[in-house]
Structure 1
Amino acid sequence: MTLLQVKDLRVEFSTSAGTVKAVDGASFDVRPGETVALLGESGSGKSVTAQAVLGIVPKPAGKVTGGTISYDGRDLLAPGTAGSLRGREIAMVFQDPLSSLNPVFRVGAQIGEMFRKHRGASRKQARAEALDLMRRVGIPAAEKRLDDYPHQFSGGMRQRVMIAMALALSPKLLIADEPTTALDVTVQAQIMQLLARLQAEEGMSLVLITHDLGVVADVADRVVMMYAGRVVETGPIREVYDHSAHPYTAGLMASVPVIDGPRQRLTPIQGSPPDLLALPSGCSFRPRCQYADHQCTEQEPVLTGRSHQSACHHPLNQGVLHV
């Protein structure tokens, strides 16, 4: 059974310099209770994909130009559908909690507003619900902090507030866009543990968007690796991490330090992501790939394999793709 299905999604932005293909044929699915990690460098299309799911692609510059998005059998691209489900069944934790929270309203009131708007709760009821949520997400002395303003919270505590707001209406799907950005390593681990615990308690599906491979290593079930708006590799997290098939995935893995392994020099991926205004012909990763040949120039690779798929003409672990 599939809760969310994204198929051949295409999102474009009109700019003065031309048309940017931010998402260029991305496909993946999310099952009930599953954690899926959308990985890739900045500019790979991860956040825009999430915006398309929620129906909040910035307009008029941005628009979905192709593909389908289905949530629990409903077409999220149909007018009004995504908006009717946003918050109640699909919620999102944004990257920067300080800019997402209103600086002139108290935190308790902002959380409680979810209950007043969607469930008709009184101020007293909304305040009690907000207090309960603040306790659930681990905010110390929550009853004393209900009337504090966002600037009075640390970065990690503000992120907990955002998670509380996202969980207010018990959504079936939570999308967390770079939830640990700008947090120190210890707080990152705490936020990821919190998300994993809340997911287990709520039985919800979780989509984690990040460029940090280490952040999701212990919590994700499957990985969707994106590059230049396309999915280049996907599969169970251990399969992808231990037997990377696409040179891009393997390059990212080689650039991550291993604390408990032998000392070795990190190997960065040469070059930079392509200009989305002028994508190269064939494989978009070709200019940075040491295995590229004429076939990579002439033909765009497609995802092949079963549970572990890769979009590469020369996969590094070809036998693994048929698992």
Structure 2
Amino acid sequence: MTELPTTPEVGTGQVADAVTGNWVDRLAPAATRPYLRLSRADRPIGTWLLLLPCWWGLLLAMLHDGQARWEDLWIFVGCGIGAFLMRGAGCTWNDITDRGIDGAVARTASRPIPSGQVTTVQALLWAITQSLIAFTILLTFNVPAILLGVLSLLPVAIYPFAKRFTWWPQVFLGVAFNWGALLAWTAHTGRLEAPAVLLYLAGMAWTLFYDTIYAHQDTEDDALIGVKSTARLFGDNSPRWLAWFLVITVALMGFAIIGAVPRGEILMLVLCLAGPWAMGWHMMWQLRRLKTDDTERLLSLFRSNRDAGLIPVLFFAAALFA
């Protein structure tokens, strides 16, 4: 996850910030590559960041109920497939709406639409196809989870426009990217409860943390074309803001755990609370390495959040089977 971007070779269609040696550029049939690049299949970190809150929600719901059922295995797998598809659909929609902006930004000019690999109509059909396949997976969950899944389309649709009217587009990304915490909890329990909401808010704070780091890559280009972001808003004060997002992430996840773990389960509680504690230390490590003028380091730190988000998954799983 720490590979750094390479300069795209002329005529290959390779995207500037793709993972070096990714399977799309090496193995995928040539005709499928532009569509897989639209879906960011060559940059898997976004799928992880969408998926991990789902797994947080599912595991914490299982701990809350004190039981694991066979259908939870399908929720676990279904969330993975759905995250890949909906991240792909969302990124394709983002590229459609940003087609006039991406060509003016060095990091995004090589994306399939501005580089002429696909047309806008082809991209729209691809977004619809991915969404419909994801919807068939959603239909295997319970009715409350299905309704939540359908509702999630609203923030997904709005997010690409947020940077045009607010300095806080990362909030809109957080609303969309952490919806899985609500959905997976509800898919297990059949109801939405306070711990899931707290977990969702913790994920939003985490998104503000990692996507502000990511947005610092484009501050100069964004300033020229008038695109807003928390990175531009915070400027040199970003480390201070990121520290607050770190604290809020850990605190809210801790409150979610306290609300979810049954009373008297001391070992379970301690193991679960170790998750956000260790995640917080990982985020602190990122903060100490932060250099907002070093684009390679910014991308590397952003990608490292896969590992940060996996830490609570591991501790929740340990608590479930302890």
Q: Fold conserved (TM > 0.5)? A: no
> What's the TM-score once normalised by structure 1's chain length?
0.28
Would you tell me which structure has more helix in proportion to its own residues?
2
Would you tell me which structure has more strand in proportion to its own residues?
1
| Structure with the greater alpha carbon radius of gyration | 1
> What's the TM-score once normalised by structure 2's chain length?
0.29
